[in-house]
Amino acid sequence: MAHAVISCLHANHAALEAVLADIDQQGIDTITCLGDLVGYGPQPNEVVELIRQRAIPTCQGCWDEDIIEGLNACDCSYPSQLAERRGHLAHQWTADQLSEENKDFLANLPMSLRRDRLLFVHGSPNSQHEYLLPNMDAFAALERVETAEADTLFCGHTHHPYVRELRDGSIRVRVQEGVASGGPSEEREINLPVRRIINAGSVGEPRHGNTNATYVIHDEQTGTVEIREVAYDVERTCRAIVESGLPAIFAWRLRHGFEYAERADDASHVCER
């Protein structure tokens, strides 16, 4: 069965409408959302309401968490101090706009969703704020999937869609217990299972180099993954950003499709939240 996974809608109503239309057109009726319904964009209530109305199973994103819990994110959530300042502005604006009912909805979203051996999270199984970048250490990436007891891990948060397969892994160890250097030891080798990480990209704030919204379609039977790009009315959202008084750079960013000089790149960072 083919199912669609979307992430990082970021209060961009036009982009969400276009992506849902694209999914509908293909006759796919199972959709999972990996969070970040709000933040940066101009229509937080409209986006939350559309997700609620369509009853799309959703897990909590970093923005959804912070809007409720307050800004207690570790510095790692923002790739630079400038980005952090702008993020704070958007945070305040979004918190003011959201209805109590919609805030409640975001507050009660689960950290993760699971269907058989498929696991859905926003950032990583450890935290909504941890980035699983496509080039992160392969063993560390596999550890995230294995520790969460999944075969395939769906994540978002990087705004950059990718499919990563980890295979033919093995680790050899020499173990000594209660014995100093040079004492008797035991050698072991473990073979690591094949696992996949599928990043759904971003519907409402793409950063992959062009303005199209991105999401993924996964076919459980065949194992194929399609990364979909969907054009939408970018100008409509950009106008709404400027009219709402949000920092104009968010509109500029949507028109260019990447976060200028602000790609998060610290996968080894130990989040201290």
Partner 1 sequence: MARWALISGLRGDLEAYEAIQEDLRHTRRVDTLFVLGDVIGPARNCDALLSRLQQPRRGELRPQCLYGWWEDQLLAERGYRGGRRADALRLSQGETAVDALLQAVDPGHMGWLAELQFGFIELDCALLHGSSATVEDSLGPDSSPLLLLDRLTRMEVNRLFTARSGQQFSIELTGGGIESQVRDLEGQRHQQQSVPKRQVIGIGAGVHYTIYDPGTDRFDFLAAGSRSQERARGFA
Contacts with partner 1 by CB under 8 A lie at 72, 126, 134-135, 137-143, 146-147, 160-183, 185, 187-190, 192, 208-209, 214, 225, 227, 229, 268, 270, 272
Closest approach, Cβ 8 to Zn ion, in A, equals: 3
Q: How deeply is 223 buried, as exposed, middle or buried, from its count of CB atoms within 10 A (0-12, 13-18, 19+)? A: exposed
Give whichever of 203 and 246 is closer to partner 1, judged by the CB atom.
203
Question: Counting contacts by CB under 5 A, is residue 13 touching Zn ion?
Answer: no
121 and 111 in contact (C-beta within 8 Å)?
yes
Give whichever of 43 and 214 is closer to partner 1, judged by the CB atom.
214
Residues 15-74 that bind Zn ion (CB under 5 A): 36, 61-62
Contacts of 6 (CB under 8 A, 6+ apart): 16, 19, 23, 31, 32, 33, 34, 56, 200, 203, 215
Residue 187 binds what, of Zn ion, partner 1, none (CB under 5 to 8 Å, by partner type)? partner 1
Residue 165 binds what, of Zn ion, partner 1, none (CB under 5 to 8 Å, by partner type)? partner 1
For the record, the structure tokens of 9 come out as: 């809608």
Give whichever of 113 and 192 is closer to partner 1, judged by the CB atom.
192
Give whichever of 190 and 248 is closer to partner 1, judged by the CB atom.
190
User: H/E element holding 45?
Assistant: helix 44-53
Contacts of 268 (CB under 8 A, 6+ apart): 136, 137, 140
Residues 201-260 that bind Zn ion (CB under 5 A): none
Cα–Cα distance for residue pair 117/152, rounded to 1 Å: 7
Question: Counting contacts by CB under 5 A, is residue 8 touching Zn ion?
Answer: yes
Residue 100 binds what, of partner 1, Zn ion, none (CB under 5 to 8 Å, by partner type)? none
Scanning the structure block, which residue is given the tokens 């229509």? Answer: 43
Residues forming the site for Zn ion (CB under 5 A): 8, 36, 61-62, 157
